[in-house]
Amino acid sequence: MKKAQSSLDKIMTMINDDRYCIDIMQQNLAVIGLLKSANQKLMENHLNTCFKDAVASKKTEVQSRMVTEILKVNKLSQR
């Protein structure tokens, strides 16, 4: 996230300096890649902690809610 923030700051500077559009777009794509990677790590952590605990709890309502949430986030990430 810190790398993405740093790159976003660089993009803002590039925009303010009226830099070449393609250069800005390349930096923007780099940020998108960093954020996708961060999102993947967040999902892995969620599955190994919160989701794992929900499954272990044997509470079907909690399990169902977790699956619904994961599917929703996954769908959003495909956009």
- Tens of pLDDT, residue by residue over 37-77, are 999 999 999 999 999 999 999 899 999 999 999 999 999 98
Mean local confidence (pLDDT), 7-23: 97
Query: Is pTM, for the whole model, over 0.85?
Result: no
Whole-number Å distance between alpha carbons of 5 and 9: 6
Q: Which domains are seen in the chain, by residue range?
A: 2-77 (1.20.58.1000)
The residue ranking higher by pLDDT, 79 or 33, is 33
What's the pLDDT at 56?
Answer: 93
What sign results for the dihedral spanned by CA atoms 44, 48, 49, 53?
positive
Whole-number Å distance between alpha carbons of 32 and 28: 6
Mean local confidence (pLDDT), 5-10: 96
What's the pLDDT at 58?
Answer: 87
